[in-house]
A = this chain, B = another copy of it.
Amino acid sequence: MRWVRYEVGGNETFGIVEGEQIIDVTGNPFDGFERTATSRAMAETKLLAPVMPRTFYAAGLNYADHVIAAANKRGELPNLPKAADVGYRAVNSITGHDDPIIVPADATEQLQYEGEIVVVIGKEVKNLTEETVWDCILGYTIGNDVSERTWQRGDRTMWRGKNTDTFAPMGPWIETELDLEAAMTTVRVNGEEKITFKTTSMIFGIAEFLIRMSQYCTLYPRDVVWMGTEGVTDNMVDGDVCEIEITGIGVLRNELKWLGK
């Protein structure tokens, strides 16, 4: 099942994707829902980010080649994470599929994509185990963890380097039936493939993160966990169209609009 979110009369509405149509529901995927007799054309519906999270978690460095490439750029030895220690991000940065990534005029040229799978939590849970962990996941969506590397390196925290408004496109929908082990993540800029990697080739997997997090932190419906990206990332410029595809989910597409250019 694919869940999309959109506005009807100014109110948040969830719907189910069926072919080129969206079926309206009453309620939502987190608290319960019922299908209605109303449907609408996907092509004529402005999709919102498929969920606005309660807490926006991010795994950060979680693919080996990405950690090594980043360390090489800084002239340092790579320091692989030793445990699934999660980080936090800001809700203001989230935007939807087909929305512009708006880059402040004072950003440097080191403005880069990061293609990530996003876990969407569907239930309130604590103390997850290997047996229970998968049952709390509503589904998966795609994130582009847009990063201004100069700010990321130079500021004391990663606040504006990763949390500037629109720096976290997420979408287009939540897929509940993903074959995770088969999934491949591909990043394209203006149609040119930049990288393809196995989505689950993580240092610490989804189950490992959620189990460890939930020993200390209750997970809630609408929480999201961005799982990190792989490899070297490149700069983008004004007008670039960045697509993140995860097989079995779909394509998240966003165009860069650089203010003042």
Copies of this chain present in the complex amount to: 2
Is A54 interfacial (CB-CB < 8 Å)?
A: yes
Check if A217 sits within 8 Å of B55, measured CB to CB. no
Kindly provide the distance from the CB of A230 to the nearest chain B CB, expressed in whole angstroms. 18
Interface string of A146-188 (1 = CB under 8 A from B): 0000000001110110011100000000000000000000000
Dominant secondary structure at the A interface: loop
B60/A157 in contact, CB under 8 A:
yes
**Complex formed: what's the CA distance from A104 to B213 in Å?**
13
Is A91 interfacial (CB-CB < 8 Å)?
yes
Please classify how large the interface on chain A is, using the bins under 10, 10 to 19, 20 to 34, 35 or more: 20 to 34
Task: Kindly state whether residue A73 has any CB partner on chain B within 8 Å.
Answer: no
Question: Are A92 and B60 in contact (CB-based, < 8 A)?
Answer: no
Q: Which of B60, B155, B159, B217 contacts A90 (CB 8 A)?
A: B217
Query: In residues 81-98 of chain A, which contact B (Cβ within 8 Å)?
Result: 81-83, 85-93
Partner-B contacts on A (CB < 8 A) = 54-57, 60, 81-83, 85-93, 104, 126, 155-157, 159-160, 163-165, 213, 215-220
